[in-house]
Structure 1
Amino acid sequence: MSKLSFVAIALVVAFSGGVSAQSSDPRGACKADYDKFCAGIAPGGGKIIACLNDKRDQLSATCKSALDNRKKK
């Protein structure tokens, strides 16, 4: 395997891991939904998560998935 091929494969693996981490973290996965539906909510005491859950039917699939994964932990 050439050095260039190895570097290309390493970059693909590195970037795919970053996307996975973002989609499982509600802070990254729900940023756009937070900005759209809950921007006026001050952080603390689970208020942002509660707001997002109240708007669940309007959230992106990525945000819903991240919220679901958060509950499983």
Structure 2
Amino acid sequence: MRIALSGVFLAVQMLAAQAQTAAEREACQANFEKFCKGVEPGGGRVIQCLTEHFSELTPECQKVVKANTPG
């Protein structure tokens, strides 16, 4: 259990590298856990996963993803 939580923390931290504020990280944490739990952080994989589930994300997380996705 501790290892799993560490993995989630690491993934959220990787998202944090993209998202600039604690509020942005918090806006997507539950979405990450729901849709992207098995995604290995790094190389933009977390943002890519969230983008693939964009229509299912909370409005707050959608804003974060839009702000951190090029183009």
TM-score (norm 2): 0.62
Q: Deviations over 1:11-38 (max 9, x none)?
A: xxxxxxxxx860xx2x221000000000
1:14-73, CA deviations, whole angstroms, 9 ceiling, x for partnerless residues? xxxxxx860xx2x2210000000000001000000000000001000000011122247x
Candidates 25, 28, 31, aligned match of 2:29? 31
Instruction: Say yes or no: does 1:45 pair with 2:43.
Output: yes
Give the unaligned 5+ runs of structure 1: 1-19
Gaps of 5+ in 2: 1-20
TM-score, normalised to structure 1, is: 0.60
Q: Secondary structure of the equivalent of 2:68?
A: helix
CA distance in structure 2 between the partners assigned to 1:29 and 1:52 by the alignment = 12
What is the RMSD of the two structures over their aligned residues, measured on CA atoms?
Answer: 1.9
Q: Distance in 1 between matches of 2:67 and 2:22?
A: 11
Larger radius of gyration: 1
After TM superposition, list the pairs within 5 Å mapping 1:4-15 onto structure 2.
none
| Equivalent pairs, count | 50
In structure 2, the residue matched to 1:59 is: 57
Task: Report 1 or 2 for greater relative contact order, CA contacts < 8 Å, sequence distance ≥ 6.
Answer: 1
Structure with a larger share of its residues in helix: 1
> Deviation above 3 Å: which 4+ runs of structure 1?
none
